[in-house]
Structure 1
Amino acid sequence: MKIGITIGDPAGIGPEVILKALQEPLADGIEPVVFGSRQVLERTDRLLVKAVTGYTPLISKFDTLHGPDDTVEPGAIGVIDVLPNLDAAHIPFGERDARSAQLQLAAFHSVVTAAQEGEIGAIVTAPWTKELFRTIDMPPVGHTEILAEAFDAPEHVMMLAGPRLRVALVTTHVPISRVSEQLRPPRLEAVIRTTAADLERLFGVKQPNIAVCGLNPHAGEMGVMGVEEGEIIRPVVNKLADELSDSVELSGPYSADTLFARYRGGRQPFDAVVCIYHDQGLIPLKLMHFGESANITLGLPVVRTSVDHGTAYDIAGWGVADAGSMRYAIELAVDMAKRVEK
């Protein structure tokens, strides 16, 4: 099975964490294919040889492919040059460059096409810089929006998952001031349904136990601190708890501060927590699992994982980036793809 890995923003830490993550071989029968630029990977490999004690050079393992259906030699790392005529060898680290925008976009479009055609078993994305797209006269866009359109998946859900805590988000990259207006019963219901379905499909969790957070402090405290719990969240939770009672244990809304406290001492009280806004879920997730968690897009016909961090321009090119999340994202994608393939 091939796993398609996109290079992300070549001016960031994406190429570095990919090569560090591939220092150890993957499971038997798994072929990593990096969509991006061989020039960028070779430059990064040379940098890491000098900067990182104990780093094993990988340049001899790079196997340039003409397309994702080409065979990857055992032990090799497939590389697809998505823009072979682009001079990417001297893209500066940590700086905005139109070539980076072109490369990160072309790599992602290429891996999506490969997934649509069944040439790869899963997608793993290194981080990219949305703001870069302005340098090529495009609006800022995220991976998830492109995936949702490509696979006609309007009910997609952003999940961050580590060994114990998994959080699914009702709203994602929106200002706090707009969260309440975007919290609507159809969206909340769709997130709960998609989360429940993919906990079984992707994670193998039978009859998942799902908690739903409130929006306000103390989950609104019976309307004293907000009405969204009583008017929106509780009615949806009650409806689905009854409807899905044979296959899902669903409860809430909970006050987020005390809910996440239940994870102390190595406990895992829930299989997933549905969170109303970005930081409500990602702060506890990263406190518990930063560097050992991954971003998963639920609701797609293809497996897609990503790292739990950004491009980190401030440390790009220094060789100090932690590749734990990339390795976790790759291994998680492999496990999920095998489960879906059965």
Structure 2
Amino acid sequence: MDTMRWEDGALLLLDQTKLPEKTEYLRCTRPEEVAAAIRRLAVRGAPAIGIAAAYGLALGAREFKGTEREEFLRHLRAVKELLAGTRPTAVNLFRALERAYRRAEELADESVAAMQQALLDAAHHLFAEDMEICRRIGAHGAAVVPPGARILTHCNAGALATAGYGTALGVIRAAHAAGKVAMVYADETRPLLQGARLTAYELQEDGIPVTLICDDMAGYAMQKGRVDLVIFGADRIAANGDTANKIGSYSVAVLAREHGIPVYVAAPLATIDERLTSGREIPIEERDPEEVTHIGGRRLARAGVSVWNPAFDVTPHWYLSGIITEAGILRPPFKEAIQKALAAPKGE
């Protein structure tokens, strides 16, 4: 199924809050609807929310009915600010919006209609580009997967988190196609259960062997010799390789180090925020306490209990064996490897 698609002047977003029980699409015709879908995780995953936001910007552009170019750009900046305010951690969101907005600015001497079309074309381009990037990540990453591998992954970095192939699950898909994957252990990923609801579902749909485990079973699975390597995605990577990913990723990395198991992050180069010297500078989103106290609308905890609900944590770079990107696998020392990868011409 499609994570999203453009159809008859609207953005259709797969409502991931309903999976795996229901397959429903939200029809978004206004940027406010796209912003709301991003906030409530109907669309989620760093690459996917960036692409969705670019389409939201295109929808906002189409709402403008005037012909004054400067007025149009002011309107567009307001829409960009609305979409940028949805989620703070995933840098892909801001990069996608900035790329699309710059495209409109480049055509500031053209008609408003030309700029409106350029924004839609930019969103289409980001979608197609992400699909290609993820396939390249998968191809590079498959090389680190040994034959008969038992892989542990945390949260969902699959087709549902991207344009349609996946980063961490893209590596697993490519390795499975090469006959290397014996089993994938999917952490459930509390509090919103993206591993249980989405990752296990994706792998089942693809016929890839998967075993669902509770988050607190990961260490025991490693101790019992059931895990050969760990692969997860990223929402932002600092210049030194420190990586923000779904809450619980840091714990998995620490456990893997204790058991001598390699840990790989799979992410596009656009996830690297070279402006941040370390993970201490990555903004961490904190979400609604009800995500912890309730499941499916049913209360689990006593009313009034204090809740802390960070959506992400940061894994220091020294826990990572490599960062799998579309340009290849970046290895320690990560600061130098990242600088070289970002400086290289596209395609190298």
Same fold, judged at TM 0.5 (above): no
Please report the TM-score for the alignment, with normalisation by the length of structure 1. 0.29
Which protein has greater RCO, CA pairs closer than 8 Å, 6+ apart? 1
Please report the TM-score for the alignment, with normalisation by the length of structure 2. 0.29
